[in-house]
Structure 1
Amino acid sequence: MAELNSLEELGEATGAAPAEETAQEAPVHVQKLDAHGRAYATGKRKDAVARVWLTPGSGRIVVNGKDFTAYFARPVLQMILQQPIVAANRNGQYDVNATVAGGGLSGQAGAVRHGISKALTYYEPTLRPTLKKGGFLTRDSRVVERKKYGKAKARRSFQFSKR
Structure 2
Amino acid sequence: MPTKKSAKGGSALRRQSYGASATSGGEKTIKSVKRPAVKKRGRPKKKEIVLPEKEQKAEKIIVKRDYLFAVGRRKSAIARIRFYSKKENGMEINSKQLSEFFPTQALQRIVQLPQEVAGVKNGYLSIKTNGGGKKGQAEGISLGIARVLEKYDPNLRAQLKKAGLLRRDARVKERKKYGLKRARRAPQWQKR
The structure whose Rg is larger is: 2
TM-superposed CA distance for 1:59, in Å, is 2.6
Q: What is residue 76 of structure 2 aligned with on the other side? A: 47
Q: What is residue 190 of structure 2 aligned with on the other side? A: 161
Code of the aligned partner of 2:154: P
State TM-score, norm by structure 2.
0.65
Residue-by-residue CA offset, 1:124-143 (whole Å, 9 max, x unaligned) = 11111111111111111110
Correspondences of 1:1-16 after superposition (within 5 Å): none
TM-superposed CA distance for 1:36, in Å, is 2.6
Code of the aligned partner of 2:191: K
Residue-by-residue CA offset, 1:114-156 (whole Å, 9 max, x unaligned) = 0000000111111111111111111111100111111100111
Provide the rounded CA distance (Å) in 2 between the counterparts of 1:94 and 1:155: 46
Q: What is residue 138 of structure 1 aligned with on the other side? A: 167
State TM-score, norm by structure 1.
0.76
Give the aligned length.
Answer: 129
- 2:99 maps to 1:78: no
Q: Which moved more, 1:50-59 or 1:72-81?
A: 50-59
Provide the rounded CA distance (Å) in 2 between the counterparts of 1:86 and 1:62: 17
TM-superposed CA distance for 1:58, in Å, is 3.4
Q: Which runs of 4+ in 1 moved over 3 A?
A: none
TM-superposed CA distance for 1:162, in Å, is 2.8
Pick 1 or 2: higher relative contact order, CA cutoff 8 A, min separation 6: 1
Provide the rounded CA distance (Å) in 2 between the counterparts of 1:58 and 1:133: 28
Provide the rounded CA distance (Å) in 1 between the counterparts of 2:107 and 2:125: 16
- Of 36, 39, 44, which residue of structure 1 is paired with 2:65? 36
When the two chains are superposed, the root-mean-square deviation of aligned CA atoms in Å is 1.2
Correspondences of 1:96-107 after superposition (within 5 Å): 96-107=125-136
- Of 92, 99, 103, which residue of structure 2 is paired with 1:62? 92
Residue-by-residue CA offset, 1:28-67 (whole Å, 9 max, x unaligned) = xxxxxx7232110000101001100011243311111100
Q: What is residue 178 of structure 2 aligned with on the other side? A: 149
